[in-house]
Structure 1
Amino acid sequence: MNRFVAVGDIHGCSQTLAKMLEILELGPGDTFLSIGDLSSKGEDSQGVHSQLLSLEERGVNLIVLLGNHEVMLLAMQRLAGANVDLSAFPESIFRGADISCLMRSNETWATLKSYGREVAESREFWAFRHDHPVKHFEAVSQKLDSEDWRLPQDHLDLLSRCKTHHIARNCFFVHSGIRPDIIRMDSAQTAIDSQIKEDARDLCWSREWLGQEPGFPELVVHGHTPLCYLYSFVPDTTPWRDGDLVFKSVVHNGALNLDSGVFLEAGHLTAVEIPESGCPSQFRFLRVPRLDPVCKDRLSHFNYIR
């Protein structure tokens, strides 16, 4: 029987991903699903993309969901004139993404830096907290159409094949979630169709639904919100904490959050192996503590210069 493994947000932590894949020992015919956010924040987004392509070349079925960082990166690549086919995505998912990708705090610069792009270190191209992002975008967007902004074609092709969601093994996989009123629908397929029709951005950005049980039977498996950040969205975080107050991915209230903040100082990368039955009691979890250095932004002090 082929194995099915889902992994949380990787965020450029290639060394941690490498250890995870070494332990998993996936083979041809197995499935490896990324919940999205392969890049940014960590130091080696390029290495993450390369490892996933190598995994696919070995016969592993690779499924990558579209995280908000993939949305911003693809929007930037389209802006830079790269060869990206985004026709398979709902257009609403990219609304505002080209502006968001130039906000320094969203850390798309970290992805470009991992590819050796000098523009990552240029203050001119990035809006900081005190800047008006729309005006900034208007000032610099025409300067992005150059090779220095573009990623290698095979990596662009990987990102262009991302999916907005995936339903399998009695699970509904999505990067961030869907709106509270829609998640209460009794069919996962109807819910996803409704969300895409109204505004697909919620699939990559939404947090309003956290803590609310879905109306459909499938388990919602998601990322986007590091477990240690749940305080801001859920009144009681006890279900996700053990006796040492360590936040861990657990099945609770119809959902499973796989984002364990691997890019943070005390973060780790979480994967879950899901049996064909999709029975949560048979889930096998694997957690790898962060092995990568915490990415430092040498231009971050500009956030505080007015």
Structure 2
Amino acid sequence: MPRKIFISDIHGCLDTFTELLNQLALKEEDHLFLLGDYIDRGPHSKGVVDRIMALRKAGVKLIALRGNHEQMLIYDYISETVKGWKDMADEALKRSFGIERLEQLPKPYFEFFNELPFFHQEDDFIAVHAGLNFRYESPFHSEEDLIWIRDWYKNIDYNWLGERVVIHGHTPQTIQEIETQLAMLGEKRVLNIDAGAFMSQGKENGFGHLCAFDWTNKQLYFQENIETNNKY
């Protein structure tokens, strides 16, 4: 059976991402959903984006969503190229691209970021980077909330949500907290799969892992951060 697999908040951790993909052993019929924040913080933002592009070229069925860090890059790029502002963006990101200023970012990368959708929905799930603001009649109304919102569970409109599950990232939590959410998925209908991949110094506390969720088999995968020269 084809698997639907979700990963969020890679944050420049290319080696960790690669090892997690090795764990998953993707097959041709599998679908991969990436929930944003591919860049910043970790040492290999460019490498992560290149890997995503390569997966697409290799024929992997892949949907990549926009996170708040991609949106910040878009704003910073426009600020440098249009407004003439300088020294924008994450320093680790600029080092990974071998540039001193964000305006030097090759255009195909900016186009990649600028074309990322804010959410993806199917009959049984909604995939989004941060979450949904149920204070609006349509929780998809605010694009800013889709990539930035936190602490939104208490406002979930279960009548609107129906039998769907919201799968998201954005707010780091421990392996134990993610496993608890999965155990309560039938009741709560939300799963946050951000295990703080860039937080290599937080492994003893349950952070510092990149998480994948196999929706088809309701199975979690965790890969600890294995980056070198990681700041966090």
Verify the 8 A CA contact 2:178 2:191 in the aligned structure 1.
no
Q: CA deviation at 1:79?
A: 3.1
TM-score of the superposed pair, with normalisation by structure 2: 0.82
Paired with 1:288 and 1:117, the residues of 2 have a C-alpha distance of: 30
Q: CA deviation at 1:61?
A: 1.8
Establish whether residue 289 from structure 1 lines up as the match of residue 224 from structure 2.
yes
Verify the 8 A CA contact 2:8 2:129 in the aligned structure 1.
no
Establish whether residue 219 from structure 1 lines up as the match of residue 165 from structure 2.
yes
1:74 counterpart residue number: 74
1:248 counterpart residue number: 178
Paired with 2:116 and 2:71, the residues of 1 have a C-alpha distance of: 10
Verify the 8 A CA contact 1:7 1:258 in the aligned structure 2.
yes
Verify the 8 A CA contact 1:80 1:150 in the aligned structure 2.
no
Q: CA deviation at 1:44?
A: 0.5
Verify the 8 A CA contact 2:172 2:196 in the aligned structure 1.
yes
Q: Deviations over 1:258-306 (max 9, x none)?
A: 100000022100001122xxxxxx4121111111136339xxxxxxxxx
One of 186, 200, 210 as aligned partner of 1:269: 210
Establish whether residue 150 from structure 1 lines up as the match of residue 104 from structure 2.
yes
Letter in 1 for 2:139: A
Paired with 1:65 and 1:273, the residues of 2 have a C-alpha distance of: 17
Task: Structure 2: give runs of 5+ residues left out of the alignment.
Answer: none
Q: Deviations over 1:114-162 (max 9, x none)?
A: 112234xxxxxxxxxxxxxxxxxxxxxxxxxxxx633233323322221
Provide the alpha-carbon RMSD of the alignment.
Answer: 2.6
Verify the 8 A CA contact 1:173 1:222 in the aligned structure 2.
yes
One of 117, 140, 143 as aligned partner of 1:200: 143
Paired with 2:230 and 2:103, the residues of 1 have a C-alpha distance of: 20
Paired with 1:202 and 1:191, the residues of 2 have a C-alpha distance of: 9
Paired with 1:26 and 1:161, the residues of 2 have a C-alpha distance of: 25
Deviates more, 1:284-293 or 1:150-159: 150-159
Verify the 8 A CA contact 1:260 1:269 in the aligned structure 2.
yes
SS of structure 1 residue aligned to 2:139:
helix
Deviates more, 1:149-158 or 1:160-169: 149-158
Q: Choose 1 or 2 for highest CA Rg.
A: 1
Establish whether residue 173 from structure 1 lines up as the match of residue 173 from structure 2.
no
Letter in 2 for 1:38: Y
Q: CA deviation at 1:178?
A: 2.1
TM-score of the superposed pair, with normalisation by structure 1: 0.64
Establish whether residue 118 from structure 1 lines up as the match of residue 100 from structure 2.
yes
Q: How many residues align?
A: 216
Q: CA deviation at 1:113?
A: 1.7
Task: Structure 1: give runs of 5+ residues left out of the alignment.
Answer: 83-98, 120-147, 229-239, 242-246, 276-281, 298-306
Paired with 2:36 and 2:214, the residues of 1 have a C-alpha distance of: 17
One of 115, 139, 145 as aligned partner of 1:191: 139
SS of structure 2 residue aligned to 1:261:
coil
